[in-house]
Amino acid sequence: MEASQPVIHHHPSKLPCPGPELNAPLQEWDKTAFSPPPQILPFVAIICGSGLGGLADLLENSVAFPYKDIPRFPQSTVPGHAGNLVFGELQGKACVCMQGRFHYYEGYSIAMVTYPVRVSTLLGVETLIVTNAAGGLNPKFNVGDIMLIRDHINMPGLFPCMSDAYDADLGRLAREVAEEQGCSSFLQQGVYCNVGGPAFETVAESKILLSLLADAVGMSTVPEVIVARHHGLRVFGLSLITNLLDSEELERNDEGRKGEYCSCVEGMMGRIHCKQNDLLV
């Protein structure tokens, strides 16, 4: 079934930048010291969550740059985050995959955690796909469910306005893709809550988050989304539920439905078109 063709209204933020401390690293970005492959002009950036770096392996005609070879880039320190910027094509669409993200609990400032998102805007990216591993709070969730991020909770707050952070059209498209791929029975939708980590939540903390109407919890994603929205990117996010927080015994399954998860992202890539070519989903 072909996707319907809704018109996307793109609203780049008219708000001022969050402040010199957030933008300073980008001002020092030296374009001449890093040259992405000229034949691949990515219009989508994908951030691979913990254990989800296999997404980057699906790219065709790929060229990988280890973070250590990219000037000023932070380094991955968390297992399951390989630390490569991979350019290539997914479903024939040019994209750049961050095979490894940065977390606040690694000791990076939020400016550095979000630095790759700002760099991706310099590379011409229009849409950001964020993926993550998250703990399920919603009692209806199961380990291995995939949660389409509908909204998020970010207590410290940062502007700009986040009332429409996650693109509704891309969300609709994701549900169509999931249906086509037979994933609907385990596709959930919900609110992702960002916590500092690195410890998982206590039972009491989980109850508080659930009472705040959070459906899943993780230690990433939200800063990236805020910066992406500030730059006017469209955002789409998926969480893979790797554990549930409703019991005192932590049952964790990182393998879960990784394959299906990657297929959903791949299916989305097949449907997202470059805005500059006026061929929006």
Ligand X SMILES: O=P(O)(O)O[C@H]1O[C@H](CO)[C@@H](O)[C@H]1O
- How many CA atoms lie within 13 Å of 7's alpha carbon, on the beta-carbon side? 2
Distance CA(229)–CA(261), nearest Å, equals 24
User: Is 87:63 a contact under the CB 8 Å cutoff?
Assistant: yes
Indicate which single residue of 110, 128, 173, 219 sits in contact with ligand X (rule: CB under 6 A): 219
Indicate which single residue of 36, 42, 49, 256 sits in contact with ligand X (rule: CB under 6 A): 49
Q: What is the DSSP string of 146-203?
A: EEEEEEEE-TT--SS--TT-S-HHHHHHHHHHHHHTT-GGGEEEEEEEE---SSPPPH
Pick the closer one to ligand HPA by CB: 50 or 120.
Answer: 50
Pairing of β 127-136 and β 93-99: unpaired
Task: Give me the residue whose beta carbon is nearest to ligand HPA.
Answer: 135
Does 101 participate in binding ligand X (rule CB under 6 A)? yes
Indicate which single residue of 113, 134, 165, 228 sits in contact with ligand HPA (rule: CB under 6 A): 134
User: Is 214:153 a contact under the CB 8 Å cutoff?
Assistant: yes
Pairing of β 84-90 and β 146-153: unpaired
Can you tell me which residue has the tokens 């890093």?
34
Distance CA(221)–CA(154), nearest Å, equals 10
Pick the closer one to ligand X by CB: 40 or 78.
Answer: 78
Indicate which single residue of 105, 108, 159, 200 sits in contact with ligand HPA (rule: CB under 6 A): 200
Pick the closer one to ligand X by CB: 99 or 132.
Answer: 132
Q: Of these partners, ligand X, ligand HPA, none, which one is at the site of residue 25 (CB under 5 to 8 Å by kind)? A: none
Q: Of these partners, ligand HPA, ligand X, none, which one is at the site of residue 223 (CB under 5 to 8 Å by kind)? A: none
Indicate which single residue of 132, 138, 206, 263 sits in contact with ligand X (rule: CB under 6 A): 132
Indicate which single residue of 58, 90, 149, 245 sits in contact with ligand HPA (rule: CB under 6 A): 245
Q: Of these partners, ligand HPA, ligand X, none, which one is at the site of residue 49 (CB under 5 to 8 Å by kind)? A: ligand X
Sign of torsion over alpha carbons 169, 175, 178, 182: negative
Question: Which residues of the chain form contacts with ligand HPA (CB under 6 A)?
Answer: 133-135, 195, 197, 200-201, 217-219, 242-243, 245
Question: Which residues of the chain form contacts with ligand X (CB under 6 A)?
Answer: 49-50, 78, 101, 103, 132-133, 197, 218-221
